[in-house]
Each structure stands twice: as C-alpha cells, then as structure tokens.
C-alpha cells in the first residue's frame, strides 16, 4: 500500500466524499473518533505517505505503514481502524496509524519536500543533501524530510536509472548525478502513479526484486544497505560506487 503515489491514488479514490458530512463514525483508532461526527470534510490532501482528511479546525492524519488498507463503499471482515459513513457512501481504513493534527494543516507540513506536490522544490533537496555529505545516498533518499513520499521501490529504481550504487557517499557523488537523482525521485514517482493506475507497476520494475541486470546480464545483488538496513537491489557493474 505505502509509497507516495499509492496515497495519491487513495486521494483520488475518495474524491466523492469531499464536502460531505460524516453521518456516523467508528473504529478502534486511539483518537476520539466521535469528534468527526456531523463534521464536513473540507479537503483530502496528501503529504508524502500521509493521507490527510481536513476538517475546519483539525485534520485526521492516516499513515498506512507497511500493511494498511482501505475500502470505498465496501467492508473487510476485520474491524476497521476508522470507518466514516456519508450520505453517499462510506470509507473504511484498516491496520493503519490514525492521528489528529490541530489547527491549520499548513502549519504542520512543508509541502515543498513532497516529491509529488506542485510545490516540490528540488533545490531544497539539494541543500539538504549538501548538509549530510557523509551519509549514504540510499539512506538520504528514504528520508521523508527530504523526499516525502519516496519509498524503497522508488529508491531502488531511481538509483538504477541514475547508475549510482546505493552505498555511495553523498559528498563523493558528482553534483550532476546528485541533481539527476533528485529529479528522478519526482519523475519516477509520477511514472509509478501512472503505471500503478493501470495495474502494471511491477512489469516496469527494472531492478527491484530482479536477479539479472537487464543492461549487462550480470547478477543483481540484494543487500541490506545503510543505517536503515533496507533492501537494496543493484548491479555493481552498471551502478558506480562513490566512496
């Protein structure tokens, strides 16, 4: 479920409930769900992997983590974490994190770090990377304060496209390659979105879960990389290691 583009699809899936009143609400979320009752949804927004349900004076923040799911006008067997019923349908969330953000949502988020937001600012990412020259690029790409919305699939595909080894040290990577990586984090996210909507995302993976490099036919390595120890898939022949 998780990476940014999937949350954008979620936002599109629930557009029918924008401006609608919550007729009834339930769920085992740790927040006081009764607060939503009879309130009208102003907007659905996303920030990276965060799905935001905006009301007048507060916002419900939903994070799918690894296993979150949702249903529109359907229910699963299990107890919903949060269930919203409207006059024109219902929206159910399962196994996700639900939190409340008080006040103006703009005071909680810097939209310019979201790679899929219209305010996305690659220059800001460049500055942030410049402030961590000793970190591995594989860790920085997953940093939600720099590339909100980018997850492990996008990380691997971006680095493969840019011919950069995931364990490369940021300060050692040529500036032109850094710029390309930054740009590709946004570009690939929109391609991810396009393919996922057509249910053909996986067939476009070039390195993630692959075992043979499609460029040189040599083996793709799989390794837990960086401080985060997330799986990286890469070709040591095609992806340059800068250390």
Residue 3 CB, nearest approach to DNA (Å): 4
Please identify, among the stretches 8-16, 148-156, 161-169, 176-184, the one whose residues bind DNA according to the rule CB under 7 A: 148-156
Q: Could you give the count of Cα atoms lying within 13 Å of 196 in the half-sphere of its Cβ?
A: 19
Q: What does the alpha-carbon distance between residue 1 and residue 49 come to, in Å, rounded to a whole number?
A: 10
Least gap, CB of 230 to DNA (angstroms):
6
Give the shortest CB-241-to-DNA separation in angstroms.
Answer: 21
Q: Is 27 in the site for DNA (CB under 7 A)?
A: no
Q: Whole-number minimum distance, CB 19 to DNA, in Å?
A: 29
Binding residues with DNA: total (CB under 7 A) = 26
Provide the H-helix boundaries in the chain: 4-13, 122-130, 137-141, 152-161, 175-197
Q: Identify the residue among 80, 151, 166, 226 touching DNA (CB under 7 A).
A: 151
Site map for DNA, 68-87, x if CB under 7 A? Answer: -x------x-x---------
Cβ proximity to DNA, 133 vs 175, nearer residue = 133
CB-based contact 52:44 (threshold 8 Å)? yes
Tokens of 128: 């942030």
- For residues 3 and 149, the answer to whether their CB atoms sit within 8 Å is yes
3 binds DNA (CB under 7 A): yes
Residue in 11, 39, 63, 210 binding DNA, rule: CB under 7 A: 63
Other CB atoms closer than 10 Å to residue 124's CB: what's the count? 15
Is residue 227 a contact point for DNA (CB under 7 A)?
Answer: yes
Residue 138 lies near DNA (rule: CB under 7 A): no
Judged by CB under 7 A, does residue 128 bind DNA? no
CA-based end-to-end distance of the chain: 34
Query: What are phi and psi for residue 163, nearest 5 degrees?
Result: 60, 35
Which residues, 6+ apart, have CB-to-CB distance to 217 below 8 Å?
Answer: none
Q: State residue 210 phi and psi, 5-degree precision.
A: -85, 160
User: Measured from the CB atom, is 151 or 166 closer to DNA?
Assistant: 151
3-class DSSP assignment, residue 223 = strand
By CB under 7 A, tell whether 180 contacts DNA.
no
**What residues line the site for DNA (CB under 7 A)?**
1-3, 6, 48-49, 63, 65-67, 69, 76, 78, 94-95, 142, 144, 151-153, 208, 222, 227-228, 230-231
């Amino acid at each position: 479920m998780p990476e940014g583009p999937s949350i954008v699809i979620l936002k599109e899936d629930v557009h029918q409930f924008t401006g609608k009143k919550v007729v009834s609400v339930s769920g085992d979320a740790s927040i006081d769900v009764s607060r939503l009752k009879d309130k009208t949804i102003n907007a659905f927004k996303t920030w990276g992997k965060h799905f935001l349900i905006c009301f007048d004076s507060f916002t419900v923040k939903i994070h799918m983590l690894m296993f979150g799911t949702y249903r529109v006008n359907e229910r699963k067997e299990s107890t919903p974490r949060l269930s919203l019923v409207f006059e024109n349908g219902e929206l159910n969330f399962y196994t996700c994190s639900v939190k409340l953000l008080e006040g103006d949502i703009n005071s909680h988020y810097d939209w310019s770090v979201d790679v899929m937001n219209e305010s996305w600012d690659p220059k800001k990412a460049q500055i942030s990377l410049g402030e961590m020259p000793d970190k591995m690029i594989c860790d920085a790409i997953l940093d939600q304060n720099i590339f909100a919305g980018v997850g492990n699939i996008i990380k691997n595909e971006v680095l493969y496209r840019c011919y950069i080894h995931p364990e490369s040290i940021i300060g050692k990577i040529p500036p032109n390659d850094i710029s390309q990586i930054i740009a590709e984090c946004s570009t690939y996210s929109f391609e991810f979105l396009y393919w996922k909507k057509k249910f053909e995302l996986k067939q476009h993976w070039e390195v993630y879960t692959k075992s043979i490099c499609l460029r040189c036919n040599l083996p793709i390595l799989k390794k837990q990389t960086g401080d985060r120890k997330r799986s990286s898939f890469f070709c040591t022949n095609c992806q340059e290691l800068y250390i």
